[in-house]
A = this chain, B = another copy of it.
Amino acid sequence: MDFTVETATAAVMESFQGTKDPRLREVMEGLTRHLHAFVKDIEPTMEEWEAAIDFLTAVGHKCDDTRQEFVLLSDVLGVSMLVETMNGDEHGTESTVLGPFHMTESPRRELGDSIDLLGTGRLCVVSGRVLSPDGTPLLGAELDVWQCTEDGFYDVQQPDVQPPGNGRGLFRTDDEGRFWFRTVVPSHYPIPTDGPVGALLRATGRHPYRPAHVHFIAGAAGHRPVTTHAFVADSPYIHSDAVFAVKQGLITDFTESNDQQEADRYGVTAPFRHARFDIVLATAPEATA
């Protein structure tokens, strides 16, 4: 049978019939079906096809040990969030993207410690509990926390300015499932724009900013871990995150507090900002607990 626009998709799908792994076959057949539908839909010229090849090649060439431009592309096309959302658990706190800055190990810290090693910012307290879906506090739950500075940079982006581990901490909840630590209010910031994904954003009139947020990975025995953010409610771009990661349930008030008694409890001076963020972990299926 001849290769025509009409027969093309069936011919390519048939070529994957001999795939031993049934899941790989399913993925390749699905890719063929949807990729061909896209191509037939937009009818690219040869020059446009070449431009697409050049773009993908440039994205690949931008990737190295500290930069993942394909993850960035997946992010700005909403694919990362789509996959993350489909893999989330409705019984727990909503998940959101891991992002590209979880590349070093966070230092172990005690409850109440400050993760702000620079000491130049206005202190803020983040506190909350890790809970089971039925409200049971999860004691000894592990929390990995990371965030950028008030200027919008992570420690790994400013090795000459920030000590390693600034803005990061590994915490364990207390006997009542509680956690609390001191930090600064993080800033909104742009995703890297010096590569082909940045050029794509400029060409499509999109801004590169993410609203301010604190990253969390929370886990506890017998529960499904969750990767999520606490978003700063009054941050710019809270309604137009360049990577589509904001969910209503994750938007958190970083409230201004003048209560010096409360400030004393956390080792800060009023007025200070206080964010309360509880994390619910869905129960893990027994087999994988």
Contact = CB atoms under 8 A, between A and B. Distances in A.
Q: Which 9 A-B pairs have the closest CB atoms?
A: A60-B60, A18-B205, A34-B38, A12-B78, A19-B204, A30-B42, A49-B83, A57-B63, A8-B82
Interface in A4-35: 4-5, 8-9, 11-12, 15-16, 18-21, 24-28, 30-35
A163 interface: no
A77 B5 contact: no
B44 A83 contact: yes
Interface in A170-213: 203-206
Contact of A38 (B8, B20, B30, B70): B30
- Give the interface residue-count category, chain A: 35 or more
A193 to B, nearest CB: 15
Contacts of A24: 203-204
Contacts of A2: 247-249
Interface string A119-133: 000000000000000
A204 B28 contact: yes
Given A30-B42, A244-B8, A70 B82 contact: no
A45 interface: yes
Nearest to A6: B85
A74 interface: yes
Given A2-B249, A60-B70, 5 more contacts: A3-B244, A34-B37, A49-B74, A57-B68, A61-B61
Contact of A15 (B32, B36, B41, B206): B206
Identical copies in the complex: 2
Contact of A60 (B36, B42, B56): B56
A89 interface: no
A19 B246 contact: no
A85 B8 contact: yes
Nearest to A32: B77
Contacts of A109: none
A46 interface: yes
Interface in A149-184: none
B53 A56 contact: no
A81 interface: yes
A270 interface: no
Chain B CB within 10 Å — which of A32, A85, A245 has the most? A85
A219 to B, nearest CB: 15
Interface in A94-135: none
29 contacts: A4-B85, A5-B85, A11-B244, A12-B78, A15-B206, A16-B204, A16-B206, A18-B206, A20-B205, A21-B203, A24-B203, A26-B42, A27-B48, A28-B204, A30-B38, A30-B41, A33-B38, A34-B35, A36-B78, A36-B82, A37-B37, A39-B86, A40-B86, A43-B86, A44-B86, A49-B79, A53-B70, A53-B71, A56-B60
